[in-house]
């Protein structure tokens, strides 16, 4: 309920700023978006991810999957925010950078598995 109240107050402030100080509206709306995202992240997303991680401890790559999905959605949100404010190229760069970070993380995980398989194959020879 707290998040809804904060969002409504931010909306009212943004409407007021849009009517009174039009040139600063875009800047302040981005600041409010990041503040609201930070609040949502700390109060909803982070506890949800921790609870999900506790439930999926028996799966070998659950942490990597959850972290990859979380990074992907955060990158998508930032990219959409940039695109909405007419920074389409910057939004694409940010989203591509997030995808590269996720791939680099999975390459490290894959390398460990590949080394294990290689060691098993060498023992068989």
Mean per-residue pLDDT of the chain: 86
Where does the pLDDT of residue 86 fall: very low under 50, low under 70, confident under 90, or very high at 90 and above? confident
Residue count of the chain, please give it: 125
For residues 91 and 86, give the distance between their C-alpha atoms in angstroms, rounded to a whole number: 9
Q: Give me the residue spans of the domains in the chain.
A: 1-45, 56-125
Hey, what are 17's tokens? 């700023």
Hey, what are 65's tokens? 């999957």
Nearest to 111 by CA among 123, 99, 119: 119
Q: Which 3 state secondary structure label does DSSP give 93? A: helix
Q: State mean pLDDT over 70-89.
A: 88
User: Are 17 and 24 a contacting pair, CB within 8 Å?
Assistant: yes
Q: What is the pLDDT of residues 43-71, one digit of tens each?
A: 888 888 888 888 888 888 888 888 899 88
Where does the pLDDT of residue 103 fall: very low under 50, low under 70, confident under 90, or very high at 90 and above? very high
Number of neighbours of residue 95 by Cβ within 10 angstroms: 19
């Amino acid at each position: 309920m707290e998040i809804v109240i904060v969002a409504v107050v931010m909306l009212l402030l943004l409407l007021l700023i849009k009517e009174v100080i039009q040139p600063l509206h875009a800047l302040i709306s981005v600041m409010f978006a990041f503040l609201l995202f930070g609040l949502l992240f700390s109060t909803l997303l982070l506890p949800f991810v921790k609870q999900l991680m506790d439930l999926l401890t028996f799966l070998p790559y659950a942490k990597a999957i959850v972290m990859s999905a979380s990074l992907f959605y955060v990158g998508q949100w930032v990219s959409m925010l940039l695109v909405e404010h007419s920074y389409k190229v910057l939004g694409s760069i940010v989203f591509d950078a997030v995808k590269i970070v996720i791939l680099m993380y999975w390459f490290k995980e894959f390398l460990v598995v590949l080394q294990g398989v290689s060691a098993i194959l060498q023992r068989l020879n």
